[in-house]
Each structure stands twice: as structure tokens, then as C-alpha cells.
Amino acid sequence: MDKDLLYFIEIMANVIEVTGILTIIIGAAIALVRYAFKLQAANRSYKILRQELGKAILLGLEFLVAGDIIGTVVIDPTIQQVLSLGLIVLIRTFLSLSLQVELEGKFPWQKTD
């Protein structure tokens, strides 16, 4: 591939990863601010805090996985990098699934009653 194109793709992969990190940080800040202003019903507020924080983490993880895929497959597709990517994606997918089950109380493939 052309060096300029590879450089552009590498920059975009980094931008996507930074977007994921910022999504988690900003989402956490927003969730904490909302929690601070809704302390009158502490038990309910805590549940809302966990849900909003979980959603921010899930969205951030999606960006991080996308950045890893682009960075590994397009830029440096050695067998070690691909295996490392597979492990990272597996771990992040498990984390995403765990968070989603915790937030919604059911697996994504279960029907809603």
C-alpha cells in the first residue's frame, strides 16, 4: 500500500481509539454530574448512575475495538498482532456482554416479554 494511505489509516485508527477513550471519560463525567444532582432518591440514583456509566463504557469499548481492528489488520498484520487482536476483541466482547446483561438483566438474544 502507499505510505501516505497507511499513514492516514494509522492516524484514523488512533483517532477512533481516542474517541473511545473520550467517550468513556465524558460519559462517566456526565453520569457523575447527573448522579450528584439526583441524590434525593439515593437508591434509584445509584442505579441510574450504573446504567449511564455502563452505556458510556459499552460505547467506548466499541470505538476501541474498531480502532484495534483497523490498526492491526490494515497496518501491521503479523500473526502475533492478529492473535493479540483476537484476544483483545474476545476480552472486550466479554466485557461488553457482561455490561449489557448487567444493565438490561437479560442476554441480547433473549426476547423481550
1-23 pLDDT, tens digit per residue, is 688 888 898 899 999 999 999 99
pLDDT at 63 over 90: yes
pLDDT band of residue 42 (cuts 50, 70, 90) is low
pLDDT of residue 40: 56
Q: How far apart are the first and last CA of the chain?
A: 51
pLDDT band of residue 41 (cuts 50, 70, 90) is low
pTM: 0.76
Query: Stretch 41-61: mean pLDDT, rounded?
Result: 81
pLDDT tens-place string over residues 75-86: 767 888 888 888
Q: Contact at 8 Å (CB) between 28 and 56? A: yes
Q: How many other β-carbons are positioned within 10 Å of the β-carbon of residue 95?
A: 13
Please tell me the distance from the alpha carbon of residue 113 to that of residue 106, in angstroms, as a whole number. 11
